[in-house]
Amino acid sequence: MVWPSPSLLRIDRSLYGEIVDHLNEAQPAEGVGLLAGVANGGERQATRFFRGTNLDRSPTRYTMDPVEVISAFREMEARDWELVAIVHSHPRTSPTPSVTDLREAHYPDSLLLIFGLASSPPVARCWFASPAGTGGSMGAASVREVAVIVDDAPVEPAAG
C-alpha cells in the first residue's frame, strides 16, 4: 500500500517503553524490531511492536531474523495492520540514519525509528527516506525527520 508522505508517528507510552526495554536488552549490539500500525493521512499510529533478534550481533549493523520478519508480517496481514517503522538502535552513536541504514532500507513506505542509546534516557528520532528511482533499496534521494508523539508529548531530538 502506498500511503501519503508521513508527517507524524504516534506511539503509546507503554509501547514506547517496551521498545526501549528491548533495545537496551540487545546491547552492546544494535537492537531491532518492527512497528506495526495504521495510517490516517500523514499520521502513523503504532499498534504493536514486534521484537527482533539481531543475527549480526553487531554494535554497528543489524539483520533481523527472517523467521521473525515473516511471522510479524503474517500477523500484520491478519490484523489489517501495515509496517509503520523499522526500529533499531545505535548503541554508541546518534539516532540519525547511517549510509548503511539508508542503503539497506527495503520498505519505502515505512519509517526508520532509531534510538540513540549513548545518552540517558535514550533519544528517539524518526526518519522518512524518499527513494531515489527504482530498485529494491532506498539509495535515498532525500531524508527528512518525522515528528514522534508519545502520549501526546513530542520526543525531543538530540541537541546538535
The C-alpha cell that represents 7 in the structure block: 508527517
* Number of domains into which the chain is organized: 1
Report the pLDDT value the prediction gives residue 20, as an integer from 0 to 100: 97
Could you tell me which of 93, 99, 88, 80 has the C-alpha nearest to residue 37? 80
Asked, for residue 160, whether it belongs to a domain, the answer is no
Asked, for residue 1, whether it belongs to a domain, the answer is no
Asked, for residue 50, whether it belongs to a domain, the answer is yes
Report the pLDDT value the prediction gives residue 114, as an integer from 0 to 100: 97
Low-confidence residues in the chain, pLDDT < 70: 1-4, 131-141, 152-160
Asked, for residue 159, whether it belongs to a domain, the answer is no
pTM over 0.95: no
pLDDT per residue as tens digits for the range 110-142: 899 999 999 889 999 999 987 655 444 445 557
Structural domain including 22 reads 8-154
Domain with residue 15: its CATH number is: 3.40.140.10
Could you tell me which of 159, 156, 35, 59 has the C-alpha nearest to residue 117? 59
Asked, for residue 125, whether it belongs to a domain, the answer is yes
Asked, for residue 80, whether it belongs to a domain, the answer is yes
